[in-house]
Amino acid sequence: MLAQIVLFDGFDPLDVIAPYEVLAAGGAIADGTLQVELVSAEGPRQVPSGMGLLSLVATARLAPQRADLVVVPGAAGSFPEGEDDLREDSIPMILAGTLDTPLPGLLKQALDRPGLTVATVCGGSMVLAMAGLINGRPATTHHLGLDALTATGAVAIDARVVDDGDLITASSVTSGLDLGLYLLERTLGPRVAHAAERLFGHERRGIVWRNAGPAPTVTA
């Protein structure tokens, strides 16, 4: 199995590193069953993160035709102080900048391909939403972006991880750890996920939301 984690200019480092390390560890625990690589929509290149924190190297181009799992991170930048605060280093502007790259087209191919799972961390779901790829679908993002996610036409869910079949979204930055472990459970099974959980000393937080079961009649 192949997992590709997407880099774009302005990405959030922890959104990438957390799921990358968890998935890579799971692959090692499962005797190399899962391979993980960093990719970009443009191909191999040095990709700068947001806020000048660091750069990572994409070793290949995002390839929906051969990947089994694609993970899209969010952005690192300033938080806008209002609707008119459109600084280039703000998170919404960084995410919007991905729309002018080949990334949306490649992500559409990924979502259209049967058997491929697309996952996101934090603002990564906004990349899909702003590209019009998840209209009407349940998804989550950082709690500060839930209203914006709703405004794009997605169904915003305030949960740590939301599983909608071939689309799995995770909320805040640290949820990349929970996402990675959940993806291991889905792809390689609970025993591999449990071994990785013990290795990292991290117990997953929250309930994975799915559109299943009776709806609650009382909400907290």
**H or E element that contains 128:** helix 124-130
CATH number (1.20.1250.20, 2.40.30.20, 3.40.50.880, 3.40.50.1000) of 2-77+90-210 reads 3.40.50.880
For the chain, the domains span 2-77+90-210
What does the alpha-carbon distance between residue 61 and residue 8 come to, in Å, rounded to a whole number? Answer: 11
Give the total residue count for the chain: 220
What does the alpha-carbon distance between residue 196 and residue 129 come to, in Å, rounded to a whole number? Answer: 31
Give the pLDDT of residue 194: 97
**CB contact at 8 A, 190 and 168:** no
Output phi, psi for 9, to 5 deg: -60, 120
What does the alpha-carbon distance between residue 97 and residue 151 come to, in Å, rounded to a whole number? Answer: 18
Q: Residue 190: CB partners within 8 Å, gap ≥ 6?
A: none
| Sheet architecture: strand order including 208-210 | 60-61, 35-40, 2-7, 69-72, 117-121, 167-170, 161-163, 208-210
- pLDDT tens by residue, the chain, 220 residues: 999 999 999 999 999 999 999 999 999 999 999 999 999 999 999 999 999 989 999 999 999 999 999 999 999 998 877 666 678 889 999 999 999 999 999 999 999 999 999 999 999 999 999 999 999 999 999 999 999 999 999 999 999 999 999 999 999 989 999 999 999 999 999 999 999 999 999 999 999 999 999 988 887 7
Reported as half-sphere exposure (CB side, CA atoms, 13 A), residue 165 has a value of: 10
